[in-house]
Amino acid sequence: MSPQIPKTQKAAVVVGHDLPIQVRNDYPVKQPEELAPGECLVKLHCTGVCHTDLHARKGDWPLPCKIPLVGGHEGVGDIVAIGAHTVDSPVKIGERVGIKWLVDSCLQCEQCRKGLEQCCSKAKLSGYTVDGTFSEYVVSYVNHVTPIPESLNSQEAASFLCAGVTVYRALKYSNTKPGDWIVLPGAGGGLGHLAVQYAAHAFGLRVVAVDTGAEKKELVLKLGAEKWIDFRETKDLVKDIQAATGGEGSHAALVAAASSAAYEQAIEYLRPGGSLMVVGLPADTQLNASIFWTVVKAINIIGSYVGNRQDAREALEIAALGKVKCHLAIQPLSALSDVYEGMEEGKIVGRVVLNM
Ligand code: NAD
Ligand code: ZN
């Protein structure tokens, strides 16, 4: 017998970019008989809070989002219904799955065929162009939900659906090899602290962590970073990075901070042939790179946007092996506004996961 689906639910709703978030109990739940073929309804256990949700809440990106909006894109829950006439569903009712930023894509266009599903022109983005996971139930799509490995509980798994898959893919395409140095600005945040672990324990890289504060320092050194630089205290970031990497600078940098300052000196501290992985998305900014030094040092500048279905599975498999763990604090959905405040002030160490 299928479980009873309520008509309304608790959800945290952005009603306007300058208005407080409303945590309401009367947000509609799409009913099983209303689901289109390919859609599924997921009853959420929990969801991570990503800095991207704060960008959506503030509306500070050039890409418009829907309003009213239920944010959130690091959800884990159980499938409770699948749309009638869905053909060949890869998942079934009762299965525990993850909801990532990319909730659906056409799977037919050139980008989808090449595995760049996140760049599909028909992509649906969780908690941005469609309602996301800051709610008890969410509508998702059978072809894009990610099965969750049994050995991870839902809270442990949640942040791999965005933070984990994003940094995993960026490292995969960073042109590095084991033993290389990588600089990770934003290392103590949600993406950054997972990047430290994937870099050190899955890719065999040597990590220079850049962030601020004693708590983040302690965490990233414990997670596998070899060197630490506090961006607020350093007098000369480039010199400090050169000194940390034996004089020559790093082979790669993966910027996981929502700050343009974190990008500023990357071309200077990368060694020739190095790669800058552009991941953090500060609002409305340009990447200012010296053309001369980018050419003469043969630097690669590479944008990296979340990951595809396969990247998500790989990122979770490595987590299931226990090689990468999310450092998280669990809070209720009603704490979302406070979480955003803490995030804005750079006070969140690792991730906050909201229980439903
Ligand atoms: P977060 O707030 O958890 O972490 C950001 C960290 O950056 C904080 O620890 C902060 O102290 C640190 N920081 C700030 N300024 C810095 C500086 N100048 N140098 C070094 N560190 C600095 O954020 P998050 O959830 O990890 O997200 C980070 C960014 O990545 C956001 O802009 C988010 O939108 C973006 N993002 C991008 C993708 C993608 O696909 N490219 C996916 C997810 C998130
Ligand atoms: Zn995210």
pTM: 0.98
Ligand 1 and 184: CB distance under 6 A: no
For residue 341, give Cα distances in angstroms to 68, 179, 230, 292.
20, 38, 22, 40
Nearest atom in ligand 1 to the alpha carbon of residue 257 is: 7
Assigned domain for 53 exists = yes
Assigned domain for 136 exists = yes
Residue 208: the pLDDT is: 98
Distance 55 CA to ligand 2 centre (A): 10
Residue 121: the pLDDT is: 97
Are both 213 and 114 inside the same structural domain? no
- Note whether 190 and 279 are within 8 A (CB): no
Assigned domain for 2 exists = no
Residue 162 DSSP label:
T
Are both 178 and 284 inside the same structural domain? yes
Residue 284: the pLDDT is: 81
Are both 326 and 222 inside the same structural domain? no
Sequence letter at residue 261 = A
- Note whether 154 and 160 are within 8 A (CB): no
Residue 202: the pLDDT is: 98
Domain span holding position 339: 8-159+307-355
Ligand 1 and 192: CB distance under 6 A: yes
**Which among 166, 231, 281 is the best mutation to test ligand 1's pocket, defined by most ligand atoms within 8 Å of the CB?**
281
Are both 246 and 317 inside the same structural domain? no
Distance 256 CA to ligand 1 centre (A): 4
Assigned domain for 1 exists = no
Residue 3: the pLDDT is: 67
Ligand 1 and 343: CB distance under 6 A: yes
Ligand 1 and 306: CB distance under 6 A: yes
Are both 15 and 135 inside the same structural domain? yes
Are both 77 and 100 inside the same structural domain? yes
Ligand with smallest separation from the Cα of 307: 1
> Rounded distance, CA 192 to CA 349, Å?
10
Are both 311 and 324 inside the same structural domain? yes
Bridge-based pairing state of the strands 96-99 and 75-82: antiparallel
pLDDT along the chain (356 residues), means of 10: 85 96 97 98 98 97 96 98 98 98 98 98 98 98 98 98 98 98 98 98 98 98 98 98 97 96 95 98 92 97 98 98 97 98 97 98
**Which among 47, 51, 165 is the best mutation to test ligand 1's pocket, defined by most ligand atoms within 8 Å of the CB?**
51
CA-nearest residue for atom 44, ligand 1, is 52
- Note whether 289 and 302 are within 8 A (CB): no
Q: Which residues partner with 104 through β-bridges?
A: 124
Ligand 1 and 126: CB distance under 6 A: no
The phi-psi region of residue 39 (left if phi > 0; otherwise alpha if psi is between -120 and 50; otherwise beta) is beta
CA-nearest residue for atom 23, ligand 1, is 51
Ligand with smallest separation from the Cα of 211: 1
